Amino acid sequence: MRDREIIELYWVRNESAITATAEKYGSYCHTIAYNILRNKEDAEECANDTYLRAWSSIPPQRPNRLSIYLGKITRNLALNRYKRYTAEKRGHGQVVLALSELEACVPSETTVEQTVEENELAAAIDRFLYVKPKLNRNIFVRRYYHLYAIRDIADAYGMSESKVTSLLFRMRNELRRFLEKEGIML
C-alpha cells in the first residue's frame, strides 16, 4: 500500500492504518529501536508504541515521508526507554520509575524550551551536514541518527572500521568548531 493511502486511513480514523503501517514499516522501526536497545522484545514494544503515537498524531500531522516520520518517533521512544534502563542500573530506580509513570500525565515529554533548543540545534546540524561531502554526511547520519555500529557502517560502505572511526572523529571536531562559530552553546 502506498504511503499516501496509509496516511489517508489515519485521517479517516480507520484502524487498518495501524496494520498497514506495521506490515510496511514494522521491520524498519524494529531496526531503529534495536540499534539503540539491543533487545528484540524491547524493540518490538517500541515499534508497537510507534504505531500508537502515529495514530494519535495523524491527524493533525500529515507526514511528507511516512517512513522517516515513524523512524523519528521510534528513535525517541527507544532513547527514552534506554535512558530509563540506564538510570535504573545506576541505582536511581524509584525516582526514574516514578518520573516515567508521571510522563503519562503530561501531553508531551519535552518542554517547549527544550523543543525550541533542539530545533535550533538540529537546524545548525542540517547546515553543517549539507556542506559536507555526501559520503561523510551519510556516514555521520547512519552513526548518530540511526545509531548503527561502526562495524555495520564499515561493511555497508566497503570501508575499514578504522577509516570510519577516523572519519567520524574528524566530523565531530568539525561540528564542534562549527557550533562554536555559530555561537551555539550546549
Partner 1 sequence: MKTEVLLRSIGRISDELIADAESEANTKRKPGWAKLGTMAACLALVLCTGIATHAIRSNATAGTFTMDVNPSVEYTIAKSGTVKMSAA
What does the binding site for partner 1 look like in residue numbers (CB under 8 A)?
A: 64-65, 67-69, 71-72, 75-76, 79, 83, 110, 114, 117-119, 121-122, 125-126, 129-130, 134, 137-139, 141-142, 144-146, 153, 155-158, 186
Are the C-beta atoms of residues 62 and 103 closer than 8 Å to each other?
Answer: no
- Residue 97's alpha-carbon distances to 51, 91, 107, 176, in angstroms, are 23, 11, 18, 34
Which of 69, 71, 68, 176 is CA-nearest to residue 128? 176
Residue (14 or 173) nearer to partner 1, CB: 173
Task: Tell the smallest beta-carbon distance from residue 142 to partner 1 (Å).
Answer: 5
Taking phi first (over 0 means left), then psi (-120 to 50 degrees means alpha), and beta for anything else, what does residue 184 get?
Answer: beta
Instruction: For 153-165, give the DSSP string.
Output: HHHHHT--HHHHH
Residue (44 or 117) nearer to partner 1, CB: 117
Residue (48 or 136) nearer to partner 1, CB: 136
Crossing angle of the two packed helices 66-87 and 93-102, in degrees rounded to 10 = 150
Task: Tell the smallest beta-carbon distance from residue 16 to partner 1 (Å).
Answer: 25
Output DSSP code: residue 158. Answer: T
Residue (138 or 165) nearer to partner 1, CB: 138
Residue (18 or 142) nearer to partner 1, CB: 142
Task: Tell the smallest beta-carbon distance from residue 49 to partner 1 (Å).
Answer: 16
